[in-house]
Every structure is written in C-alpha cells, then in structure tokens.
A and B are shown apart, each in its own frame.
Chain A
C-alpha cells in the first residue's frame, strides 16, 4: 500500500476472495476523505468493489490498467 497526499493506493492483485474487498474496505475506513484506488487483476474483484461502492453509496469509477483494473472509490460526504 502506498499513500500520497490525496490518494491511498492498495495493490490487491493476485489475492483470492475475499481479500481484495477486505483491503478496499479497510483502506476506506482509514481514508478520512481521501480517495482510495485499488489495483486488481480480475473482473470478479473489480465487480465486488464496485458493488460495495454502490451499496454504501460511494463515488466509484474504474479504468483499465495493464492486465487489470484500477478501481477508484471515495466517500461523497465525509
């Protein structure tokens, strides 16, 4: 995991269910308004994080990154 001023980046590539989503959630809990970007390498992990974002009414977007995806999540009203 790396952390800049505005973005917390979590590398969840290669991890089995449910670890990528657990990592995303724990990063969000510590984010305090920062944006969380999770790097994943399967559509399953990507979809799990997007579904969680929808459930918890978070702002979410995704983009292709090499062989995988970067899912960007942030709380709208911290």
Chain B
C-alpha cells in the first residue's frame, strides 16, 4: 500500500493521473455527460448550484455526483496516506471572493481549466483562446507572488473541521439519490427542493453510480499526485519545474486519443458543444479565472481535493465558486452557446479589478 501511495506522488504518478482523467472524461461523454464536458469542475459546480436552487437557469440544474465523489476520493486517499490534516485560517473570506470571481470568469469562457484542455482534445479550437487567457492570468498572478503576495498562514484546526467537506459531500450524494422522490410539476419538471433539468446540458448525465466511481478514482489519484492545472503553468514559469505540466500533457494526449477512438473528435470553431466563438471573451473570462485560481494557490479541482484532505480554506473557495455560479446565472453574466451575455464582459473586467486589488494588497504579516 505504502508503495502504491509513494508511486502516485512520483513523476510517473502525475502522468498516470493525467492519463486516467484524459481517458475517463471522453468515456463519460460517450455514456451521457455533455459534449467535451466529461468532467468540468466549474460546469458541474454550476449545475449543483442550480440543483440547489441557488440559480434557476432551467437547463443547468443537476446534482453532479462527480464533485462530491472528488471530495470523498481525496478524503480517503489522505486518510490512508496519513495526510488528512484539518486546518484553516488563511484569509477564508478572501478565498470565498476569489472562488466566486473565478467561477464568473470560467462561466464567461464556459469551462474550468480541465475543460479548457478537454475541449482542445475534442477539437474545439475556441479553447485555444481560453487557454491563452488562462496562461495570461497565471502570469499576472506570478507577478503578484513575486512582489510578496500572500494570504497568510493556515493553522491546525479541530478534527471536526476536517469532516465538514466530506460530510457535505455525503449529504449531496444522498440528495442525488433521493431527489427523484421530491416534488414535480405536472410536466415532470422538478420543483424542489432539488431541481433537475429536463433538457440542455443539465439533463445529460451518466448514471449516478458511474459518476461516483469515476469521481472517487480521480479524487484518490489526484490527492496523491497533487494534479493541478494552475500549478502546472505556474511552476514552469516560477521554478522551471515541468512536473505538474507532465500531468496536463498526459491528459491532453490521452483525451485526444480516446476522443479519436470513440469518434468524438470534431475539429473547428463553430458548432462545438456548450461553447461560443467569441475569442476575446473566451480569453478574457479565463484571464480572470486564471488569476483568481493562482492567487488562491491552485486550480478548482485542486481546491476540491485540498478540501477533502482537511483544508477548510480550500473548502471555502469551493463554496465561493458555487455561490459565484448562482450570481453568474441570476445576474445573467454566464455566456451561452450564442456568445457572452450582455453583462458578462463588464463583470469580467470588474472581477479582474477586484482580484488585482487583492493581489496588490495582501501580504503576510510577520513574514
């Protein structure tokens, strides 16, 4: 067991993690998840926000089991490796704000960093603008880090705090199983307490047990290997360290190959699933997201895995993203397949200003 745990934290381990995500994501699409969205942390948290009624956009409401399974997979891996460490206190309020604006940026692009690479691997060239934006946002974040940006230290917390996110995850999974028993309108539309899309991306999903299994496996592997799509770029720039970047390269290669095998590779800009063709705001949305993720210390999936291993601040970031998704749809900031909403660009610029102020003003005291 110890050998397996050690292997996963090594260089082959990060490549294996990227490969497993790269293979599983297109397979999840094949069996029902939305196009080029086998796994998307931003989209799935947004769907969860919809399922919980935090927004009422009818086509994106579903309690995606992959996200709570990520938390539990990481929780189990951290327990087995004796890395489960309840901790908090590193500017949680700021992390909430970063999470909310990261989500708003990601929903202007229509995807998290994982989905940006998965879209590319499916032939969606619009993702190139998103990835360029993501890299630009990370580069700006690195500049802030070099100037001494820090959200300060976390401190050991009572064990109960470390159970908060895993218990929340369990609760969401229970709701996912029993929500068909809840209220329906005469047309079959869910009317709460848990909402469920009848059409659109929110209606497209693999069976719950399949989603759970995939989520648990990925959560376990990613906790062990520290897979992070933000760290991948950041570490190359800051330290010339390609370790995490190998994970992305592996994800890209294996996702491309799996898409080709399954006949899901379709190259072009127009008509791509759950995507729009506005290059400027594909870029701009991801500048905001990339900057916010960098200032929070990791990509949205990494925040989920950290929350599973007891990091309460990462948990607050995740909750910030879910609430941000609520605002993104309630305030009509999220893009649709026809392009950015009328308010998306302004929200993106506002978000970049807020996040940049955080980057400029936060320093660790008593460094």
Chain B residues near A30 (CB, 8 Å)? none
Looking at the complex, which one of A13, A16, A21 makes contact with B239 (CB distance below 8 Å)? A21
Structural contact, A14 and B238, CB atoms closer than 8 A = no
Looking at the complex, which one of A22, A43, A51 makes contact with B243 (CB distance below 8 Å)? A51
Given A14-B155, A42-B85, A44-B226: A25 touches B239 (CB 8 Å cut-off): yes
Structural contact, A14 and B154, CB atoms closer than 8 A = yes
CB distance from A52 to the nearest CB of B (A): 6
Closest chain A residue to B226, Cβ basis: A44
Looking at the complex, which one of A1, A14, A42, A55 makes contact with B241 (CB distance below 8 Å)? A55
Contact stretch, chosen from B17-25, B145-153, B203-211, B267-275 = B145-153
Structural contact, B153 and A13, CB atoms closer than 8 A = yes
Structural contact, A18 and B85, CB atoms closer than 8 A = no
Structural contact, B153 and A18, CB atoms closer than 8 A = no
Closest chain B residue to A14, Cβ basis: B153
Restricting to A39-53, which residues have a CB under 8 Å from any CB of B?
41-44, 47, 51-52
Structural contact, A51 and B153, CB atoms closer than 8 A = no
Structural contact, B297 and A17, CB atoms closer than 8 A = yes
Given A14-B87, A19-B150, A44-B226: A52 touches B9 (CB 8 Å cut-off): no
Chain A residues near B296 (CB, 8 Å)? 16
* Interface presence of B235 (CB below 8 A): yes
* Interface presence of B156 (CB below 8 A): yes
Report the bound CA distance from A41 to B240 in whole Å. Answer: 24
CB distance from A56 to the nearest CB of B (A): 10
CB distance from B12 to the nearest CB of A (A): 14
- Identify whether the interface residues of B are mostly helix, strand, loop, or mixed: loop
Task: Name the interface size band of chain A.
Answer: 20 to 34
* Interface presence of B115 (CB below 8 A): no
Looking at the complex, which one of A13, A17, A21, A47 makes contact with B9 (CB distance below 8 Å)? A47
CB distance from A67 to the nearest CB of B (A): 7
| Chain A 1-32 per-residue mask, 1 if CB under 8 angstroms from chain B, else 0 | 10000000000011111110110010000000
Chain B residues near A1 (CB, 8 Å)? 367
Given A13-B153, A17-B297: A67 touches B85 (CB 8 Å cut-off): yes
Chain A residues near B235 (CB, 8 Å)? 18
Given A43-B83, A51-B243, A52-B239: A22 touches B151 (CB 8 Å cut-off): no
Chain B residues near A51 (CB, 8 Å)? 241, 243
* Interface presence of B90 (CB below 8 A): yes
Given A15-B150, A47-B9, A52-B239: A41 touches B90 (CB 8 Å cut-off): no
Report the bound CA distance from A47 to B235 in whole Å. Answer: 14
Report the bound CA distance from A15 to B313 in whole Å. Answer: 11
Chain B residues near A17 (CB, 8 Å)? 228, 231, 297-298
Report the bound CA distance from A17 to B235 in whole Å. Answer: 10
Q: Counting chain B CB atoms within 10 Å of each CB, which of A16, A19, A21, A41 scores highest?
A: A16
* Interface presence of B329 (CB below 8 A): no
CB distance from A71 to the nearest CB of B (A): 15
Looking at the complex, which one of B151, B155, B240 makes contact with A16 (CB distance below 8 Å)? B151
Given A16-B297, A52-B239: A22 touches B85 (CB 8 Å cut-off): no
| Chain B 150-175 per-residue mask, 1 if CB under 8 angstroms from chain A, else 0 | 11111110000000000000000000
Restricting to B344-367, which residues have a CB under 8 Å from any CB of A?
364, 367
Chain B residues with CB under 8 Å of chain A are 9, 81, 83, 85, 87, 89-90, 145, 150-156, 226, 228, 231, 234-235, 238-241, 243, 296-298, 313, 364, 367
Chain A residues with CB under 8 Å of chain B are 1, 13-19, 21-22, 25, 41-44, 47, 51-52, 55, 67
In the A-B complex, list the 3 residue pairs whose CB atoms are closest, starting with the nearest: A14-B153, A16-B297, A14-B154
7 interchain pairs, CB-CB under 8 A: A13-B153, A14-B155, A15-B150, A18-B238, A18-B239, A19-B150, A67-B156
